[in-house]
Structure 1
Amino acid sequence: MNQPNAAVSPSPAPSRPAPADFDAALSGGAFAALDQFGVIEALGDDAATFLHGQLTNDIEHLDAASARLTGYCSPKGRLLASMLAWRTQGAVRLLVSKDLTASVQKRLSMFVLRAKAKLADVTDSVGVVGFAGDVRAALSGLFDALPDGVHVHVAGPAGSLIRVPDAQARARYLWIGPKALVDARLAGLEGELARVSPAVWDWLDIRAGEPRITAGVLEQFVPQMVNFDVIGAVNFRKGCYPGQEVVARSQYRGTIKRRTALAHVERAATLDAGALEQPVAPGVELFHAADPGQPCGMVVNAAAAPNGGFDLLAEIKLAALEGGAVHLGAAEGPQVVFQPLPYTLPSEV
């Protein structure tokens, strides 16, 4: 596997939700308006076929009852975005990190050429809400039927409802609907569920082991480095897409030497002697005690943890996980403590 590209500027530090927000998600039912996401819509007779030829997963055979994780790569196989894709009302929609939505929509549009497809950034016209915990009763007031499995999609007058992977043994759902309708229903939901910070959702995504590509880690990773092959975001049987040769070669012709791990850092990181303490953020590098002169990994996502400190998904050399201390931001930075992912990575031999 290639080394990541030169380090990028870290993303803004994550905010810290109130303790009550974590409690609501972990022991009751909660929802959050997720303004960290944007939505791209692909319309036209060739929309699915076009996206099938651009993204890492099978979009052409995506049915209306399913959603699918996928990635968008550069010709060098480096991820430009991570996405959740689903069909709705004759279109394919893509949920993307909001800080990448405009650039991804623009780049995809450049390659439409003669295809009967048009891509639009519809972020301003939709609302995205995440639900966690005991929320089925509240959701039954919005949808006649609820998804009965992970990445099952149901549609109705209120929009789309998608079950996403559980985190901390809590069921999770995404509601994407017309913005005016979503905004009108949020106040009513507050009478049934706790409204929490969107940063709680970021933390739950991390605990679910689902990396999200943001501006802070743009073009840093091939899909396997962030476990996309493990979580179902890559289809190795589909046809070509940008970067496909690199991704396939990494899978079949060489040992995968870098993966993404779940970890915790107990306190804020001082990244240099003159800086104020600042929390870990995407793009911050990791250093191993045995080789402090060069980074061994990079933070992919980070979020404040309920009991203090920060949880993170960190892309890292597998050799660095075999022993010795790993530090955040610098060789003398705070130590990173690795934890089990909620899924099993394949043995790399």
Structure 2
Amino acid sequence: MNAEWNTFLEQADASLEHGRVAHFGQPETELGAALAGDVRCDLSHLGLIAARGPDAETFLQGQLTCDVRQIAPDRSLPGAHCTPKGRVFASFRLFRRGEAVYLELPRELLEPALSRLRKYVLRTRTMLEDASDALARMGVAGSNAAALVGAALGAVPKLTHNVITVNATYPDSVTVIRLPGPIPRFELHGAARELSAVWNTLAPNVTPVGAEPWRLLDILAGTPTIYPETIEAFVPQMLNLDLLDGISFHKGCYVGQEIVARTHYLGKLKRRMYLARVDSPA
């Protein structure tokens, strides 16, 4: 976690475990707030891989399922890195900030994914690095999230996957991404001092929550996430990435593309991800 952001969260009474916020003292209340209120969440449970260099876009285009050419300063997309057999090794959210393309994924999968991607760099002019501690990041969700973020920053992305940059002078800028889902949600990436100011501005009206409520909102949004336990368990279509703009069938070759395309054009998909609810006292 970014050191300055870590100190700020400790002063905000966050309960930190393994470099991430577990809760702010009331985990059950925080889960309820995520479903029925407005919440702000530290996102340090997610890691960032930064891809830089003259060939970075071309390199990622040949590795990931999405069309990396569509990742622009005003647009973010989901994507995945597959094995040659078309099985998903890692899933990401991609966005641009400054001169880099960032790949966001669970922190516990960052090192395996980074090591695997580096194997394919070879002679391309691309540098891949763990940028998780370079930026602070937070999420805001709820029925009033758009109005609250807009009031704090002066602007807000209007459509799903859209991105805006506030305070365009890098590195003091704040990157704001609008996420999919039935509950309006936004990710904010930037310097710790900038996000600390936003966090405090939201404080009177927005409940602070830990990582689990944000994961719950991911589930409700149908956002697929690969963890170490599910590496190579699915082809991308099983994760609905074809329905979420996370697969391009027109971009050309990438690792695992033949299997993914064959499944799309010739195969019959036997499994897909669905949202299910189980009522249980536990």
TM-score normalised according to structure 2 size: 0.83
Note the C-alpha offset of 1:180.
4.7
* In structure 1, distance between residues paired with 2:197 and 2:184: 24
Contact 2:59-2:121 within 8 A present in 1 as well: yes
Superposed CA deviations along residues 73-112 of structure 1, whole A, max 9, x for unmatched, are: 0111111111111111111111111111122122212211
Shift in Å, 1:150: 0.2
Alignment pair present for 1:139 and 2:154: no
Structure 2 residue 121 is matched with structure 1 residue 112: yes
Letter in 2 for 1:135: A
Partner of 1:304: none
Which of 41, 56, 60 is residue 47 of structure 1 equivalent to?
56
Distance in 1 (alpha carbons) for counterparts of 2:161 and 2:117: 24
Q: How far, CA to CA, are the matches of 1:194 and 1:188 in structure 2?
A: 12
Measure the CA separation in 2 of the matches of 1:33 and 1:21: 13
Shift of 1:210: 1.3
Give the helix-richer structure, 1 or 2.
2
The aligned counterpart of 2:70 is: 61
Deviations 1:242-276 (CA, angstroms, capped at 9, x unpaired): 11111111111111111111112334xxxxxxxxx
Matched length: 253
Cα drift, residue 200 of structure 1 = 0.9
Partners of 1:49 and 1:24 lie apart in 2 by: 42
Structure 1, 145-154 or 20-29: larger mean CA deviation: 20-29
Greater strand share, 1 or 2? 1
Secondary structure, aligned partner of 1:60 = helix
Indicate which of 35, 38, 41 corresponds to 2:47: 38
Q: Deviations over 1:216-243 (max 9, x none)?
A: 1011111011111112210011111111
The match for 2:139 is: 130
Output the CA distance in 2 between the equivalents of 1:131 and 1:203: 14
Inter-partner Cα distance in structure 2 for 1:180 and 1:125: 12
Give distance in 1, aligned partners of 2:134 and 2:219: 27
Residue 235 (structure 2) aligned to one of 222, 225, 239: 222
Further displaced range: 174-183 or 205-214: 174-183
Aligned residue identity for 1:22: L
Q: 2:251 is matched with which residue: 238, 243, 246?
A: 238
Aligned residues of 1:53 and 1:240 also touching (Cα < 8 A):
yes
Matched, 1:156 2:169: no
Q: 1:180 to 1:103 in 2, by over 3 A?
A: farther
Q: What is aligned with 1:82?
A: 91
> 1 CA distance for matches of 2:141 and 2:57?
30
Instruction: Assess if the C-alpha contact under 8 Å between 1:143 and 1:156 holds in 2.
Output: yes
Flag the 1:175–1:113 CA change in 2: closer, same or farther, 3 A: same
Give me the whole-angstrom Cα distance separating, in 1, the residues matched to 2:202 and 2:118.
37
What amino acid is aligned across from residue 37 of structure 2 in structure 1?
A: G
- Give yes or no for contact 2:78–2:92 (8 Å, CA) kept in 1: yes
Q: Distance in 1 between matches of 2:105 and 2:274?
A: 22
Contact residue 138 and residue 187 of structure 2 kept, 8 A:
yes
Q: Which amino acid aligns with 2:277?
A: H
Matches within 5 A, 1:265-344: 265-267=278-280
Q: Distance in 2 between matches of 1:79 and 1:202?
A: 20
**Higher-RCO chain (CA-CA 8 Å, sequence separation at least 6):** 2
Check if 1:178 corresponds to 2:191: yes
Distance in 2 between residues matched to 1:89 and 1:186, nearest whole Å = 23
Unaligned stretches of 5+ residues in structure 2: 1-21, 168-172
2:208 match: 195
Q: Quote the sequence identity (%).
A: 35
Q: How far is the alpha carbon of 1:20 from its aligned partner?
A: 2.7
- Check the 8 A contact 1:125/1:179 in 2, yes or no: no
Whole-angstrom CA distance in 2 between matches of 1:216 and 1:181 = 35
Q: CA RMSD in A?
A: 2.0
TM-score by length of 1: 0.68
Q: Is the 8 A contact 2:40 2:199 kept in 1?
A: no
CA spacing shift, 1:109–1:184, aligned 2, 3 Å: farther
1:311-342 CA-to-partner distances (Å, cap 9, x unmatched) read xxxxxxxxxxxxxxxxxxxxxxxxxxxxxxxx
* Cα-to-partner distance string for 1:163-202 (whole Å, 9 max, x where unaligned): 01123xx211111222454346434432331101221111
Indicate the SS of the match to 1:151. coil
- In structure 2, C-alpha distance between the alignment counterparts of 1:22 and 1:132, rounded to whole Å: 12
Offset, 1:19: 4.0
